A and B are shown apart, each in its own frame.
Chain A
């Protein structure tokens, strides 16, 4: 009888405690629930699964109900290179504070550390991803947030490495404050519209820091792209806004700060391009506004390959670039106006801050080097300086309508 009473009290207490912690399932190595998978299986919809410090050798973790997966002191989830680690197939899922390592590399499937499939209102934040193939992969998932994650890959070759953050057919996602390094593409967008990319750092990626493909109406601001194969590649996209970003040290035989190909109606404002081989490489891009950017110490500041119409360049600072503008073909209706060129040697008699003689940014050498690339080995030779000078005095070869009619005398602050 007494035994029964004690048992019922214990049961009652247990039931109470269960009632109190109803919304949190604690996972730790010594708890009854000692794996993430068990934790998720026990948890009800909109519960929190709290994972405490420890190493959990698990992969193929499915989250198919609205849950918050929260790590305490960065528990390690080790995928042992066996495949995908976390797969989310439900709306309202949060993954927070996990340390995920060892995603399996595969040549047939894109294994990711965290994959979100056809879900909305997800939040993926404060995670650290290392030794990965793909990092965070959003697949047809919209209205979510990827915030403050640190993704550190060790990509060596393009063919067997994945992207840090990949968005595929995902819309209205905010990607901010992330750090991506050593992957193939730092952040990759394909068929993804209305994405906001803010204050991320993308460095040392094999291919691009940020890559747009067929993605429209996206905004990226205040990001830093450093030492990537190319800082940002924007291809086949429309209405992209690029504000206040920094492109630095993307230096190498085929490195670019920004690579534009077949993009229309974009705005490139207030960015800084420093020490890139080619700061902006433009091909087949129309109606783009380049305003108030700084081009400092680049090999080429702007290289226009062709088929570009109605682009305007204004208020930019060009300083210490080997070549300011390289142009292939006709000027078309592109316009250079009111930029500051450090090579400008004209005068300003009426003191209105605008030079009285136009500036021609295309040097003869850059024109020749465009036609016959081998001639670039005469870079910095006395002969080239002389013919550049004579061409400057009386332009014969360089397109004579390619000029800035109102060059600024002082650089824009």
Chain B
């Protein structure tokens, strides 16, 4: 697996798209800090971007990479290499290079503006950690979609739909059910519903760390009580790991059985 991973990774970090992605984050980071040199405020703005853009790019990039390297994959399949190694290697190559772009692209500007001397280090690392998790999760989901769909157009369609569902539609349904069932106690329901969607979970984790929870009144207090404790924090991390782990396992399972 190491060889394939290394190859994919080097292939990707030499590709144009990785640079564009990296440059985008660099520009974003510098512009944000140029406009507002308050690091903790910049973290909030960054959160809005990360939780929407990172999943989108990971899904698109993941499916694109899978389809584009199909011929190379078939070549590899002809070699005496374990199948799971090929696919997992490719997956970690993509996810790794995307995460690297994210961490470097945002890390460099924030370092340059004195991140280590400010109190925002923890919040910022949490943000980056969550960005990396989202990359892992959505790349894995993208690979799953791509491996299950021979048709490129269909695959892309599903991938975009997946992102749309997680980022927008899920919240819409969530909102509707909150309004419809407002007569009932909704605390447990909303905590579970939040935990089930990695984007919502990431958003809530960051918001609570940034003390916007005070805005949320009673609901915020309940969320803080759950997610704000160490226990809740580790549960959220566990859910995120589960979100990344399950698709990876399915990818492995599928790749072994798939008929090329």
Residues of A within 8 A of B (CB): 251-255, 277, 299-300, 322, 368, 371-384, 386
The complex places the Cα of A377 from the Cα of B216 at a distance, in Å, of 7
Q: For residue B212, which residues in chain A have a CB less than 8 angstroms away from its CB?
A: 299, 322, 379-380
Q: For residue A252, which residues in chain B have a CB less than 8 angstroms away from its CB?
A: 214
The complex places the Cα of A378 from the Cα of B218 at a distance, in Å, of 14
Partner of B219, one of A254, A255, A373: A373
A381 and B200 form a contact (CB under 8 A): yes
B178 and A375 form a contact (CB under 8 A): yes
Interface residues of B in 215-255 (CB under 8 A from A): 215-221, 223
Q: Is B167 an interface residue (CB 8 A)?
A: yes
Nearest A residue to B193 via CB reads A377
B194 and A377 form a contact (CB under 8 A): yes
The complex places the Cα of A373 from the Cα of B175 at a distance, in Å, of 11
* Range for the number of chain B residues in contact with chain A: 20 to 34
Contacts A253-B217, A376-B216 known; 11 new A-B pairs at CB < 8 A: A252-B214, A253-B213, A299-B212, A322-B212, A371-B182, A372-B182, A374-B187, A377-B219, A382-B51, A383-B175, A384-B171
Between B187, B211, B214, the greatest number of chain A beta carbons within 10 A of the residue's beta carbon is seen for: B214
Partner of B221, one of A253, A255, A368, A384: A253
Q: Return B204 CB to nearest CB of chain A, in Å.
A: 7
Using an 8 Å CB-CB cutoff, how does the interface string of B155-172 with A read, 1 for contact, 0 for none?
000000000000111011
B216 and A380 form a contact (CB under 8 A): no
Partner of B218, one of A253, A368, A375, A380: A253
Q: Return A366 CB to nearest CB of chain B, in Å.
A: 11
Given contacts A379-B212, A382-B171, contact A372 B221 (CB under 8 A): no
The complex places the Cα of A254 from the Cα of B214 at a distance, in Å, of 8
The complex places the Cα of A51 from the Cα of B175 at a distance, in Å, of 68
Q: Is B179 an interface residue (CB 8 A)?
A: yes
A375 and B179 form a contact (CB under 8 A): yes
Given contacts A380-B48, A381-B200, contact A373 B168 (CB under 8 A): no
Given contacts A371-B179, A374-B190, contact A381 B217 (CB under 8 A): no
Residues of B within 8 A of A (CB): 47-48, 51-52, 167-169, 171-172, 174-175, 178-179, 182, 186-187, 190, 194, 200, 203-204, 207, 211-221, 223
Q: For residue A253, which residues in chain B have a CB less than 8 angstroms away from its CB?
A: 213-214, 216-218, 220-221
Q: For residue B179, which residues in chain A have a CB less than 8 angstroms away from its CB?
A: 368, 371-372, 375
Partner of B203, one of A299, A371, A381, A386: A381
The complex places the Cα of A380 from the Cα of B47 at a distance, in Å, of 9
26 A-B pairs, CB-CB below 8 angstroms?
A251-B211, A253-B216, A253-B217, A253-B218, A253-B220, A253-B221, A277-B215, A299-B214, A299-B215, A322-B215, A368-B175, A373-B217, A373-B218, A377-B190, A377-B194, A377-B216, A377-B219, A378-B174, A379-B216, A380-B207, A381-B200, A382-B52, A382-B167, A382-B171, A383-B168, A383-B171
The complex places the Cα of A375 from the Cα of B186 at a distance, in Å, of 10
Q: For residue A374, which residues in chain B have a CB less than 8 angstroms away from its CB?
A: 178, 182, 186-187, 190, 219
Given contacts A377-B190, A378-B171, contact A372 B218 (CB under 8 A): no
Partner of A381, one of B171, B178, B186, B216: B171
Between B203, B211, B219, the greatest number of chain A beta carbons within 10 A of the residue's beta carbon is seen for: B219
The complex places the Cα of A322 from the Cα of B207 at a distance, in Å, of 13
Given contacts A377-B194, A377-B204, contact A382 B168 (CB under 8 A): yes
The complex places the Cα of A384 from the Cα of B214 at a distance, in Å, of 19
Q: For residue B178, which residues in chain A have a CB less than 8 angstroms away from its CB?
A: 372, 374-375
Q: For residue B204, which residues in chain A have a CB less than 8 angstroms away from its CB?
A: 377
The complex places the Cα of A378 from the Cα of B168 at a distance, in Å, of 11
The complex places the Cα of A74 from the Cα of B203 at a distance, in Å, of 54
Q: For residue B47, which residues in chain A have a CB less than 8 angstroms away from its CB?
A: 380
Q: For residue B200, which residues in chain A have a CB less than 8 angstroms away from its CB?
A: 381
Q: Return B145 CB to nearest CB of chain A, in Å.
A: 21
Nearest B residue to A277 via CB reads B214
The complex places the Cα of A252 from the Cα of B167 at a distance, in Å, of 29
The complex places the Cα of A376 from the Cα of B190 at a distance, in Å, of 11
Q: Return B211 CB to nearest CB of chain A, in Å.
A: 8
The complex places the Cα of A377 from the Cα of B200 at a distance, in Å, of 9
The complex places the Cα of A368 from the Cα of B174 at a distance, in Å, of 13
Q: For residue A371, which residues in chain B have a CB less than 8 angstroms away from its CB?
A: 179, 182
Partner of A375, one of B51, B175, B221: B175
Q: Return A257 CB to nearest CB of chain B, in Å.
A: 13
Given contacts A371-B179, A371-B182, A381-B203, contact A376 B215 (CB under 8 A): yes
Q: Return B218 CB to nearest CB of chain A, in Å.
A: 6
Q: For residue B190, which residues in chain A have a CB less than 8 angstroms away from its CB?
A: 374, 377
The complex places the Cα of A375 from the Cα of B223 at a distance, in Å, of 12
Q: Return B82 CB to nearest CB of chain A, in Å.
A: 40
The complex places the Cα of A382 from the Cα of B218 at a distance, in Å, of 23
The complex places the Cα of A89 from the Cα of B241 at a distance, in Å, of 71
Q: For residue B218, which residues in chain A have a CB less than 8 angstroms away from its CB?
A: 253, 373
The complex places the Cα of A231 from the Cα of B216 at a distance, in Å, of 19
Q: For residue A251, which residues in chain B have a CB less than 8 angstroms away from its CB?
A: 211, 214
Given contacts A371-B182, A372-B182, A386-B168, contact A378 B216 (CB under 8 A): no
The complex places the Cα of A297 from the Cα of B202 at a distance, in Å, of 23
Q: Return B202 CB to nearest CB of chain A, in Å.
A: 11
